[in-house]
Amino acid sequence: MKSDFSEEAAPARLLEEIHSPADVKALREQDLPQLAQEVRDELIKVLSQTGGHLGPNLGVVELTIALHRVFNTPRDRFVMDVSHQGYVHKMLTGRLERFPTMRQYGGLNGFLLRTESEHDCYGAGHAGTALSAGLGMAVGRDLKGDNEHIVVVAGDAAFTNGISYEALNNVKANTKRFIVVLNDNEWSIAKNVGAIASYLNSIATSPTFTHLHEKARQFVQAIAGKTAVEFAHKVEESVKGLIVPSVIFEELGLRYYGPIDGHDIPLLIRTFEFLKTQEEPVLLHILTKKGKGYEPAIKQPDKFHGLGKYKLETGETAPTPTPTYSEIIGKTLAKFAQTNQKIVAITAAMPSGTGLAHFAKAHPTRYFDVGIAEEHAALFACGLATQGLKPFLTIYSTFMQRAYDMTIHDIAIQKLNVALCMDRAGLSGDDGPTHHGLFDIGYLRHIPNWLHMQPKNEDEFVDMLWTMANYNSGPIAIRYPRGSGPGAQIKSEPKLLEIGKAEVVQHGRDVAIFGLGNMFEVAEDAARKLEEKGISVALINPRWIKPLDTGTLEFFARGVEVVCTIDPDEFTEHGTIPILRKKHGITADVLVEKVLPLLKRKSPAHSTAA
């Protein structure tokens, strides 16, 4: 008879016992669904406090458990595309205790990091890198005569990315042992787009698949309790049956298996056990649900792809009090496009992140989501420009790094009327070094024919967009930060700005501070602090990165003792923007601290020297 206590006692969480992948292997297989549930609960609870990539991770819980059940990291290697779906992997590889520090300054990074754990064999944050990097690992392994497994996990949207095909083009010729998992949830951040998405969907919805899936289930039931030899034979026989011929992947030289249910742990385990015995590159197509297990995330996959804090019970998030720069650009371009028929807008898989969803609603035929394909997006914009259209290419500063060659070879040399709008310029916050938009000033400034600017506030932003819309003499770019600026208005009557002309906000004799974009606020603050010490400060809003207003620069350089600009020159970790600014000295106090000794040395007015 059971004691009263055994009925009452809540079962201990299995998750608490998981300190390494060996602990996942030590569990009974029938307990793995419970582990999956606990992982989900933990994800939903912790991320409600920290924010993060909830939807993608809820979709890969079973997959990650099955991978750790079958393979042995760190010896075997999991290469995850973007690696935003690596949270479950982190939990199962000894980082559960630190999980509540996710994306916090000094805590776990939201992506895989080689420096964070020996189980993270490859860091990422940008999409499309996993297949190439994984192939390099496989070839390196072969050259060394080793035999560990390389498993690439890539989402369906990673297959909208050109690099993925560059890698696939090289797999067959270079290795015989390579496992690719295509995690197909039909979503990028927004709904996945293009011919490949339709192709994958046609496989997933084919009646043959439904039939095969039933076959697969029966097979998993049938092998329970078999001896090792019988088991291996059965697995081979049955998993080979899990093939709907997929012309694309087979022609590229990867044996295609699937599609199978990516939430069926026993099936995943059996399939991986089989795939690891194969002496040819294989691709396993699994079907998963983004946001699985959390109703708000299933209802709004786009929002829950990655978000800040939310209410655990409802999934509600705090409303942003003022419009963000992204919202302003989406709405403003939509408005300009009502009277300017030449305006078209392009996003590379970021319709809501870039605010273009507003434009898409107003002008669906002049809006293009090209998938995670920044290089293509830039070239596509070039083609549109040659037809006399005015393409607004709206891409995060960090992702535009991908299309650097196009900014020179295609846009600048041909002096095409492409308007490049770079969102998340500067520090982007809790995503960390892969996502900060710190390099676009560097990578555009030296290229002839480009104009480049940054607004100090929302009103100036609208003026700049208007200036871009009316500029027809070649490429023109704008950068603007994540979130909202200091003002709350969206200007209704924009004005044209004079090209290459800085705004002198106040004159001064001792120090001139040039505060570009959102650094203008820091500059203003520093100016007040210096003025309190009796120092006369000129305050300049440069507006233009290129052409630089050299006249204004020279004027002040000749007139004052110290000229300041505000900029970091190092890779910056993740954390909130105020914390990062403080750490890296991007504050008014640090500016004042650095300026004062210079003045003492140079200025008779402030010097103590005779």
* Residue 69 binds to ligand TPP (criterion: CB under 6 A): no
* Residue 84 binds to ligand TPP (criterion: CB under 6 A): yes
Measured CA to CA, the distance from residue 296 to residue 378 in angstroms comes to 35
Site track for ligand TPP across 395-434, x = CB under 6 A = ----x--x--------------------------------
Measured CA to CA, the distance from residue 349 to residue 160 in angstroms comes to 9
Measured CA to CA, the distance from residue 424 to residue 573 in angstroms comes to 15
Residue 202 φ/ψ region, left for φ over 0, alpha for ψ in the -120 to 50 degree band, beta for the rest: alpha
Q: Which of 96, 158, 239, 562 binds ligand TPP (CB under 6 A)?
A: 158
Least Cβ distance, residue 360 to ligand TPP (angstroms): 16
* Residue 376 binds to ligand TPP (criterion: CB under 6 A): no
CB count within 10 Å of CB 23 equals 17
Query: Which residues are designated catalytic?
Result: 290, 374, 402
- The answer to whether 383 and 355 are in contact (CB under 8 A) is no
- Tell which residue, 580, 402, 434, 396, has the closest CA to residue 86: 434
**Sole window of 78-86, 169-177, 265-273, 490-498 interacting with ligand TPP (rule: CB under 6 A):** 78-86
Q: Which is nearer to ligand TPP, 260 or 537 (CB)?
A: 260
Least Cβ distance, residue 379 to ligand TPP (angstroms): 15
Residue 544 bridge partners (DSSP): 453
- The answer to whether 419 and 476 are in contact (CB under 8 A) is yes
Q: Which is nearer to ligand TPP, 82 or 328 (CB)?
A: 82
* Residue 157 binds to ligand TPP (criterion: CB under 6 A): yes
Binders of ligand TPP among 180-219, rule CB under 6 A? 183, 185, 187-189
Written as six digits, the tokens of 168 are 């696939």
| Residue facing ligand TPP at closest CB distance | 155
Question: Alpha-carbon Rg of the chain, whole angstroms?
Answer: 27
Measured CA to CA, the distance from residue 461 to residue 479 in angstroms comes to 9
* Residue 47 binds to ligand TPP (criterion: CB under 6 A): no
Q: Which is nearer to ligand TPP, 155 or 455 (CB)?
A: 155
Measured CA to CA, the distance from residue 142 to residue 119 in angstroms comes to 20
Torsion angle in degrees (nearest 10) through CA of 339, 343, 347, 353 = -30
Written as six digits, the tokens of 523 are 């500059």
Measured CA to CA, the distance from residue 456 to residue 461 in angstroms comes to 7
Q: Which is nearer to ligand TPP, 184 or 463 (CB)?
A: 184
* Residue 126 binds to ligand TPP (criterion: CB under 6 A): yes
**Sole window of 77-85, 200-208, 362-370, 581-589 interacting with ligand TPP (rule: CB under 6 A):** 77-85
Least Cβ distance, residue 437 to ligand TPP (angstroms): 12
Q: Which is nearer to ligand TPP, 429 or 515 (CB)?
A: 429
Tell me which amino acid residue 346 is.
I
Residues near ligand TPP (CB under 6 A) are 56, 59, 81-82, 84-85, 126-127, 155-158, 183, 185, 187-189, 290, 305, 348-349, 372, 374, 399, 402
